Structure 1
Amino acid sequence: METSYKGTNKMITGIVFGVLTFWLFAQALLNVVPSVQKDLGVSSGTVNIAISLTSLFSGMFIVAAGGIADKVGRKKIANIGFVLSIIGSLCLVLANGSVLLIIGRIITGLSGACIMPSTIALMKAYFEGKDRQRALSFWSIGSWGGTGIASFLGGAIASSLGWRWIFIISIIVAILGMLLLKATPESKQKSEGAFKFDYTGLVIFIITMLALNVYINFGATLGWTSMISIVLIVVTIIGLIVFIKVESNKKIVLIDFAVFKNKAYTGATISNFLLNATAGTIVVANTYVQVGRGFNAFQAGMLSLGYLVAVLAMIRVGEKILQKVGAKLPMIWGSVITTIGVALMGLTFLPGVPYSIAVFIGFALFGLGLGFYATPSTDTSVSSAPADKVGEAAGVYKMASSLGGAFGVAISAAAYGAVAASGNLESAASIGIIVNVIFGIISILSIIFLVPGDAGKTSTAPKKSKANSQRPITE
């Protein structure tokens, strides 16, 4: 039957808690590596692998989870994500060696794959127009700002209570999120007979994504042109070709490529991939100021504090601008401001204090631009997706975020490392930053040429009659 349920602030809060509990688990470990390594008696290599596994498993399964959410229920898949987050966090709380550390990180990757697309889909289902844009602003605060929030809170909690308390708090946040979502009715596409799923497509997709993610995350360790790396690239290319061919000839598919016929959705997804790729800036800048300029970890972290403040402050502003002028302009402004901020961090020829000022302003502009961009981009991707495939489309959009960030970090670190090997750290940092400036410029071009001028303008959306209004199906 149909439901006239409209989303509430309680629902928004529960969803934001879900997004934050994933980031609290996924990001906070980066800040406590020495403590975890010492406490558990494991090597730094083991901890680094554990860190990579969450993004690896999230990236592999996020599209599948979004597609399944459309079919079996978005709230159901979100709740599965909450439960997986609790189990994953509990594994780290109880860990006394590498086994539970690794298992916990894998489970949390799966939790993120469930939570991210299903919560976007719930917001599309139960909010419309400006209300949806407002809801997505808070979702963006949890997602885009979550990495900074988790990084800051993770360090503070670890310093005062111990690193295991990060994951105890993550469990509490997840439980609260589930309770807040309890009153939200189920949402899924209209059922047509028995449940059917593209298992063949899923297997091909997982193999392809596994090869790609292993290459991105471990290419530097394996050697970018080693035999193993070459095999991984070949598997990725062949897997992609086979996947497209198989999916093009089936009725029940994992990814409906028809969503990419919508230029607005394609532009939002491509620019999302590229702006997330500029995350490589953070790695290059933080490494350079510590190795090349003698900053300690705390001082380097303070330089990026402006990023956290700006991205959190500007996301709601981006929403308001979206409602005034549509999505295209704030997406372009956001990409331009982000690119300028990135470029400032490449001015390594500047002496001590001026360079520190340039980096601080650069990080602030980086966050400012992403704040402008976040809600208009997410709203464009959601509003452009078919109502029965919004979970799947959201999964692809969020996979672009994960892959973009992983690509950007890997390519930037490789560029920096290649030049730094000669001993010229100043040039290494400049070249590593230039790579990210290029990502930003291509992102701007993708928005200019693909996103239509009326995207996100609620006044231009066709009005739906009550009889024909597409409401989620509940059972």
Structure 2
Amino acid sequence: MNNTQSSPRSNIIIAIMLSALTYWLFAQSFINIGPLVGQTYQTSPAVLNLSISLTSFATGIFMVASGDIADKIGQLRMTYMGLIISMFASLLLIISDITALLIIGRILQGLSAAILLPSTVGVLNNQFKGDHLRRAISYLMISTVGGIGLAGVIGGLIATNFGWQTNFIISIVIAFIAILLLKGTPEKVSQHSHRHPFDYKGMSIFAVMIGSFTLLLTQGFEQGWFSTFSFICLSIFIITTLIFIIIERRHEVPFIDFSVLRNRPFIGAFLNNFVLNSGLGVTVVFFIYAQTHLGLSAAQSGLVTLPYAIVAVAMIRLGEKATLRFGGKLMLIIGPLFPVIGITIISMT
């Protein structure tokens, strides 16, 4: 890569890293600053839990659809769209103390992540090849893993010293800088000779199904597990689950292909991700517990996750070398043992 090419290419990498940080660092900092946000909005812990889970819910539901749209209109355009939505979502969180705007803002943050996660990888795939692509992906992984690990620390420090709203003001600035850095990057739209129609009907039913279950889990305790609200949520979940299974079995290219459930490597990878995300879920619970029951500040509770951030970033390179030496299968077997041990130790405190 010559000198005339290196600067624009470096700008692309920096922009993609900043794009990842808008979600993994700043949107995810909400898991630590939630109690402070609750004081501003004067809302219950149940609503805070809902606002936390809705972001991940929106990300998981819309990610596949956004990838399909990106293939049609271009990865770069989708990246711009994701950054703009991220800026708008952050603005909604800080302009008032209306709970409805809090919920909408968190949903939009999840939608932004659903757009950015696949489209940023697509931009790198379009702009880099070979060793340059591997280098670019490694930088993206560092910003992603580092963002996850440092979200609690940085978010807590900023919230304690400058107010929780500052996290999202910085996120808006970073998203704007990323847009400026991407300006002038050529768009490359992939051409497919044959494209299967996306199962938007299945996605919509799945969204209602998971949404009703999320409401039941996050609001059931406050509303009452045997209340009318909980009964309605459970009924919607059961009905939409049955409808979803029937429709997906008949669809040529379903939103979820149930045949993968017979694939043992897929099940193993799924369980690995479940264990890892359970560790992140325990972190959310710890932040709330530490601030509401132990009297720690957001900065103090965030420092507890600092060892996680250091080890996570360090293990990117170490894990790569270990995989090359011992194979990916052994790493997938050993890897989930560490969060299980960690969750067990935390539960004893």
In 1, are the aligned partners of 2:61 and 2:203 still within 8 Å (CA)? no
> Against the structure 1 CA distance between its residues 79 and 291, is the aligned structure 2 distance closer, same or farther, given a 3 Å change threshold?
closer
Which residue in 2 is equivalent to 1:185?
A: 187
5+ residue gaps, structure 1, are 349-428, 430-475
> Against the structure 1 CA distance between its residues 220 and 23, is the aligned structure 2 distance closer, same or farther, given a 3 Å change threshold?
farther
Which residue in 2 is equivalent to 1:318?
A: 319
Q: SS of the counterpart of 2:29?
A: helix
Which residue in 2 is equivalent to 1:296?
A: 296
In 2, are the aligned partners of 1:67 and 1:254 still within 8 Å (CA)? no
Please report the RMSD computed on the Cα atoms of aligned residues, expressed in angstroms: 3.7
5+ residue gaps, structure 2, are none
TM-score when normalising by structure 1: 0.60
> Against the structure 1 CA distance between its residues 208 and 96, is the aligned structure 2 distance closer, same or farther, given a 3 Å change threshold?
closer
Shift in Å, 1:95 = 2.3
How does 1:148-167 map onto structure 2 within 5 Å?
Answer: 148-167=149-168
Which amino acid counterpart does residue 341 of structure 2 have in structure 1? I
1:269 has 2:270 as partner: yes
Q: SS of the counterpart of 1:84?
A: helix
> Against the structure 1 CA distance between its residues 203 and 34, is the aligned structure 2 distance closer, same or farther, given a 3 Å change threshold?
closer
How does 1:350-389 map onto structure 2 within 5 Å?
Answer: none
Which amino acid counterpart does residue 17 of structure 1 have in structure 2? L
Which residue in 2 is equivalent to 1:411?
A: none
Shift in Å, 1:138 = 3.3
Shift in Å, 1:324 = 4.2
Shift in Å, 1:83 = 1.0
In 2, are the aligned partners of 1:74 and 1:188 still within 8 Å (CA)? no
Q: SS of the counterpart of 2:336?
A: helix
1:334 has 2:335 as partner: yes
Which residue in 1 is equivalent to 2:111?
A: 110
Which amino acid counterpart does residue 16 of structure 1 have in structure 2? M
TM-score when normalising by structure 2: 0.79
Which residue in 2 is equivalent to 1:43?
A: 43
CA distance in 1, matches of 2:123, 2:270: 19
Mean CA deviation greater in 244-253 or 107-116: 244-253
Paired residues in the alignment total 341
How does 1:52-451 map onto structure 2 within 5 Å?
Answer: 52-123=53-124, 134-182=135-183, 183=185, 185-188=187-190, 190=192, 192=194, 196-224=197-225, 226=227, 228-251=229-252, 253-256=254-257, 264-283=265-284, 296-297=296-297, 299-346=300-347, 348=348
Where has structure 1 moved over 6 Å in runs of 4 or more?
258-262, 287-292
Q: SS of the counterpart of 1:17?
A: helix
Which amino acid counterpart does residue 319 of structure 1 have in structure 2? E
> Against the structure 1 CA distance between its residues 316 and 230, is the aligned structure 2 distance closer, same or farther, given a 3 Å change threshold?
farther
| 1:155-204 alpha-carbon deviations (Å, 9 max, x no partner) | 222233333221121011112223334425334461548x9543322321
| 1:359-418 alpha-carbon deviations (Å, 9 max, x no partner) | xxxxxxxxxxxxxxxxxxxxxxxxxxxxxxxxxxxxxxxxxxxxxxxxxxxxxxxxxxxx
CA distance in 1, matches of 2:160, 2:182: 32
CA distance in 2, matches of 1:328, 1:50: 36
> Against the structure 1 CA distance between its residues 318 and 74, is the aligned structure 2 distance closer, same or farther, given a 3 Å change threshold?
same
In 2, are the aligned partners of 1:158 and 1:164 still within 8 Å (CA)? yes
In 2, are the aligned partners of 1:205 and 1:243 still within 8 Å (CA)? yes
Shift in Å, 1:152 = 1.8
CA distance in 2, matches of 1:212, 1:138: 36
Shift in Å, 1:262 = 6.2
CA distance in 2, matches of 1:231, 1:39: 31
Shift in Å, 1:102 = 3.2
> Against the structure 1 CA distance between its residues 249 and 38, is the aligned structure 2 distance closer, same or farther, given a 3 Å change threshold?
closer
Which amino acid counterpart does residue 78 of structure 2 have in structure 1? I
Which amino acid counterpart does residue 43 of structure 2 have in structure 1? S
In 2, are the aligned partners of 1:26 and 1:51 still within 8 Å (CA)? no
Shift in Å, 1:325 = 4.1
